[in-house]
Amino acid sequence: MSGRGKGPLAGVRILDLTSVLMGPYATQIFADLGADVIKIEGPSGDTTRAIPPGPDSSRGAMFLNVNRGKRSLALDLKRPAARDAVLRLAASADVFIHSMRAQAISRLGLDYAALYAANPKIIYANLYGYGRNGPYRDYPAYDDIVQAASGIVDLQARLSGGEPTYSANVIADKVSGLTGAYAVIAALFARERSGEGQEIEVPMFETMVSFASVEHLCGSLFEPPMGPPEYPRATSPSRRPYRTADGYVGVMIYNDKQWQAFFRELGNPDWSKDPMFASLRSRTENITTVLAQVEREMETRSTEDWMALFRRAEIPATPIASLTDLLRDPHLEQTGFWEERETEAGRLRFPGIPTAFSGTPGAIGDPGPVLGADNHAVLAEAGFSDSEIAALTESGAVIS
């Protein structure tokens, strides 16, 4: 398999019982960084296999991308023989990661106690909706649900006239996946020092409340509160791409130096002398008025003129790019971000690995595998004989 075994996680073996997006995104990162990720799926496979478009009905684009570089082992985990096979695989694995609710994984006999008995050094990662010690622990959760529960939807409503909206991105799944990835890697590092494995819990709800609270806890950081839990600049109705005379521009005039440069380029108009523009504190306290004034100014020139001004003033700014624009973005082309190659699923374009390592670079593996494509190889590597594999297949524990 192309790419595997060369990155900073080379030699790490991961048993991946995740599905949809949160968990598979975390394990995609592991695979990109060189880990051997064994994706364990049930008879129907990961839900995202069926999301079109794709070369066939079992491998849609999302599945092919987020499960790249992984191997597929198809098991019916409701059968005791399949459960026993997982425990046998765990004996030589470094990480076991799943995205089931606590009750569901326990019913399968694959909770931490069972995996610990098979391998005390294993890192066991739970990725699910809500922390298991709270009253929401048994609630089902998807990205939209967690966006609504964690304050993200309410924050979005401030920018859309009060109408609740979801982010046009599965942000809860991906932020939680990233959190799961760094948690597992941190636990692997800790094991290098202590020699001991451990159990990890990554609940989406708590992860996204933490994520939203980075800037938005704001005045409620203090007790008693010094203000509401809201960062005014981020929720101002005037915080939006600015309309120019012929288009739109995203611009962030933030610190004092940038504002001074902006005013110099404009010729220091009278409104620039208003004290509310003088400091970060005064601008933050009057943020909607400040941004509304910039909004009016932006309509007076073309996008090209504004971009030239912002480049001279070293103010962060950009024309609005669509996802289609990014496929031919000159910066991404020069850095080699997009990787196109022929695969057995057709010619595919993969988004690149955003991190770079000078000594142990990662690499993008093959597209998400056919269900059960690696059954024999994975089981044989774990010490199963041909006759044992045949028996497991005949019993239905292994899905052929």
The model's pLDDT over 142-191, given as tens digits with 9 standing for 90+, comes to: 999 999 999 999 999 988 888 999 999 999 999 999 999 999 999 999 99
Q: Which of 173, 270, 305, 325 is catalytic?
A: 173
Fold designation for 13-211+334-395 = Rossmann fold (3.40.50)
In the chain, the percentage of residues whose pLDDT exceeds 70 is 99
The domain at 242-319 falls in which architecture? 2-Layer Sandwich (3.30)
Tokens 């909206």, located at residue: 165
Each residue of 217-255: pLDDT tens digit?
A: 999 999 999 999 999 989 988 889 999 999 999 999 999
Domain ranges of the chain: 13-211+334-395, 242-319
Q: Could you tell me if 255 and 313 are in contact, meaning their C-beta atoms sit under 8 angstroms apart? A: no
For residue 292, pLDDT over 90 is answered with yes
Angle between helices 22-32 and 171-194 (to 10 degrees): 50
| C-alpha–C-alpha distance, residues 27 and 181, integer Å | 7
329 is catalytic: no
Provide the whole-model pTM. Answer: 0.94
Same fold, 13-211+334-395 and 242-319: no
- Does 4 have pLDDT greater than 90? no
Classify each residue of 198-220 as buried b or exposed e, where b means 16 or more C-beta atoms within 10 Å of its C-beta: ebbbbbbbbbbbebbeeebbbee
Assign 344 to helix, strand or coil.
Answer: coil
User: Which tens digits make up the pLDDT trace of 347-363?
Assistant: 999 999 999 999 999 99
Give the pLDDT band (50/70/90) at residue 107.
very high
